[in-house]
Structure 1
Amino acid sequence: MTSRKTVLVLGGSSDIGRAAARAFAKAGYDVGLAGRDAAALEPDAADLRARYSIEANTLKFDVLDTATFESFAGGLPALPDVVVSIVGLLGVQVQAESDLAHATTIMRSNYEGPSLILGLFAEKFLARGNGTIVGVSSVAGDRGRSSNYVYGSAKAGFSAFLSGLRGRASRGGVHVVTVKPGFVRTKMTEGMKLIGPLTVDAPVVGDAILQAVERKTDVVYVSGTWRLVMFIIKALPEAVFKKLKF
């Protein structure tokens, strides 16, 4: 055990998860990296230990296996100061329109699992009287678009969950952050046509997550331009919006 603050990163094998872990480690946090293959995360944990002289460990966590959530949270060596959920699945919209199993996986990966595990940690933080919860949502949840409404609807639900949890948890000393990255250059978006001025690299998101925790920000659009873009999109009348092909 050390006197350093601790962060648990759920989805530690993702590009954004790795970037967030590095940002917190550089700031002096001990880091827990959680993912479906804990062994595959060990090289990243070893790099954090060597590079930043902090403690880093790996844990097995599957966001779809909700039956294990209680034992996962209860089996941690110590309750962390910060929990960051970066788990999610973009999926394929066209496939999800007719493949119920695929649509279910997208919805559970982006809404059900992240909401349940963060709600569980929120209860533990409230019992302790402090802590920070971070959920990485998406601008796709600000308004349903025809090109990705299955994913977007799940992220909309996740954002609403975080908003409600934030209001309740704030009265008990627990801070809840919603992060909306926009387009990010990652393995998940490889091959997609991204808009240059609206696209950031994973380390930018990692730094934004750390800053939001330290500054106690509630909702973060990683690119300020996205806040303006989504303000305009949300203001469009439905009759106009439904005709747009994006």
Structure 2
Amino acid sequence: MPPQTEEQARAIQSWQAVMNDLILAAVDVLNKGVIPPENLTGADPKIVSVMLLARTLSNTKGVRILLQKGRVLEARILVRNCLENGFWLARLIEDGSSFVHQMMEDEQKRRAMRGQLLFDTQVQLEAVAEQRLRDWMKERKHWKDSKTLEPKGVAKGGSIGDAYLLYSELSVDAHPGLEALNRYAARTDEADLDFEPEVNWDEYIDTLHLACFSTLTVLVGVDQMLGYGATEQLQRLTERFQALEAAHQQ
């Protein structure tokens, strides 16, 4: 990997510290256990918000590991997931059970589409399995009329819709387009091809910044959903993030 400047090294260290503390704070929120087991239902907006935080926590841990290994492009793809979690949570905060219903419709539509795909592609199934699938789809034929959710539409209706621009930029590396593929054809100083994407430390720092932004967004949102109120821990983390972000944008 290329050498870092002193300024880059300080920024990386600072962002890593914030990320580590955000992960610990997310674990604390998940461990508060204010939702009794008998109330665990996927239709409860609070439960859905907790699951979004759990998914974000897992994604962010993955980002941390990938960055430690210098896998910046792969880390950015996971950060994209974190932003997506934030879009869903923003809509959940604003629309509550109504958005959960939309999520359920999305799930129904996609399951029906996967079932239909088995028939469309003429996958060979055992007679009993095929009949069960046909019966299952017949019982749920109304699912095909459900609507799916897409990140752009979800983001547009939420309070952090402007972050879709960041999501769109991160999406470049999530798909095998020419711009993304060209990143794997870097040349060394000796002009030899090296199929490992070159680490750009400014992009590395930007990835840490976006990971912290999306994780903090979800964390604060879930804390709000669960009615904990702004804790001193979250206030300190928000202030540290804002101070680093201000320095990052200079």
**Which structure's relative contact order is higher, taking Cα pairs within 8 Å and 6+ residues apart?**
2
Higher helix share: 2
Larger radius of gyration: 2
Higher strand share: 1
